[in-house]
Structure formats: structure tokens, C-alpha cells
Amino acid sequence: MPLKNKEKGKKSGAQKKKNWGADVEAESRHRLVVLEKELLRDHLALRRDEARRAKASEDQLKQRLQRVEAELEGARSEGKAIYAEMSRQCHALQEDMQSRSKQLEEEVKGLRGQLEACQREAAAAREEAEQALRERDQALSQLRTHVADMEAKYEEILQDSLDRLLAKLRAIKSQWDGTALRLHARHKEQLRQFGLTAGSLRPSAPSL
């Protein structure tokens, strides 16, 4: 160390100078002791200053470390809170999506059922309409046939009735002609009894 080396150097110098006087040696020793005390006091003061600065730096570092640890703990707590909130929101979103998906599946299933029912009803209605059209066409055909048959029958009945009516009229005509002739003769006789002529009173027979 510097102090010890210097002390050794001075002791070596003192030993080499044994010829010097005792006063010089004593003075030198006294001055050396005083110097050593001053150096030791300065060294102790320096060490105390260094220790104080080190203690202050240590306190500052501890305070800073505490602040950093507090900030880190706060960040960890905030991160945990954020993670917990995100987890909760994610879980809620998953549940909502699952519920919505299930609801949509149920709606699609219901709509498919309704569509199938509508398709069945439409097919049944179309079949009923086609069946009704076929029955209508068949009924119209039967009605036309029936009308044609009835027209033929009515025509036959009418023709037969006309034939019978004409036959009756012909029979009545012959009877009417005889009756008219007898009436004409009788009226002619009566007119002649009254002195009248009946040439212009001859009846005309109906033409059939």
C-alpha cells in the first residue's frame, strides 16, 4: 500500500542515516507520525464520504428498485386483469357465438321443415288442381255427350210428336172436309129457300 511503502522507505532512510543526530531522527519520526495521522484521518474521512455516497446511492437504488418492483407488480396486476377480462370476453363471445349458431341451426331446421311442408302442400295442391282439371274435362266431355244424346232424343221425340200431330191433323182434315161440305150444302139450301145465291160462300179447305 502507498502509506506502508512510504513508511518502509522512510524507515530504510532512517536506518541508512544512523549517523544523523538523535534530534533529527526524533523529529523525523514525529513528523512521520503526524503525517500518518493526517493521512489516516483524510483516508477515514474519504472512506466515510464514500460510504455515505454509497449508502445514498444504495438507498436511491433501493427506492428505484422498489418503484420498479411496484410498477412491475402493477403491470403484472394490470396484465392479469386485462388477461382475465379478455378471457371473460372471449368466453362470453364463444358462448354467444355457440348460442347464436345453435339458434341459427334451429331456425334453418325450422325453415327447411317449413319449406318441405310448403313443397309438399304445393305438390298436393298441384296434384289436386290437375285432378280437378281432369275431372272437369271428363265431366265436360260427359256433359257434352249427354247433351248431344239429349238433343238427339229431343229431336227424335219432337220429330215423332210432329209426325203424330200431322197424322192427327190429316185425320181431322178429312173429317173437317166432310163436315164443311155438309154445312155448306145445308147453308146453300137455306139461302136458296130465302132466294139467295151462295156461289161465293164455298169454303176453302185448309192446306196441311
Checking if the pLDDT of 201 tops 60, the result is: no
pLDDT at position 164 is 83
Out of 6-20, 66-80, 116-130, 131-145, which region has the weakest mean confidence (pLDDT)?
Answer: 6-20
Which pLDDT score is estimated for 196? 60
Task: State residue 195's pLDDT score.
Answer: 67
Considering only residues 81 and 23, tell me which one the structure prediction assigns the higher pLDDT.
Answer: 81
- Cβ contacts of residue 106 below 8 Å, gap of 6+? none
pLDDT for res 160 = 83
The region of weakest confidence among 12-21, 132-141, 152-161, 199-208 is 199-208
Give the integer Cα–Cα distance in Å for 188 and 192: 6
Model pTM score: 0.35
Question: What per-residue string of b and e applies to 158-169 under the rule 16 or more CB within 10 Å gives b?
Answer: eeeeeeeeeeee
Tell me the pLDDT tens digit for each residue of 147-185: 888 888 888 888 888 888 788 777 777 666 667 777 777
Nearest residue to 66 via CA among 54, 58, 77: 58
> Does residue 207 carry a pLDDT above 50?
no
Q: Which pLDDT belongs to residue 197?
A: 58
Q: Give the pLDDT band (50/70/90) at residue 206.
A: very low
Q: What is the pLDDT of residue 204?
A: 47
- State the burial class of residue 6 (Cβ atoms within 10 Å of its Cβ: 0-12, 13-18, 19+): middle
Q: Where are the domains of the chain?
A: 24-158
Neighbours of 135 (CB within 10 A): 10
pLDDT in tens, 50-61: 888 888 888 888
Q: pLDDT at position 12, please?
A: 55
Q: Specify the pLDDT at position 200.
A: 46
> CB neighbours of 161 closer than 8 A, spacing ≥ 6?
none
Q: Rounded CA gap, 47 and 75, in Å?
A: 40
pLDDT of res. 162: 81
205 confidence band (pLDDT: 50, 70, 90): very low
Alpha-carbon torsion (104, 106, 107, 111), positive or negative: positive
Q: Give the mean pLDDT of the chain.
A: 78
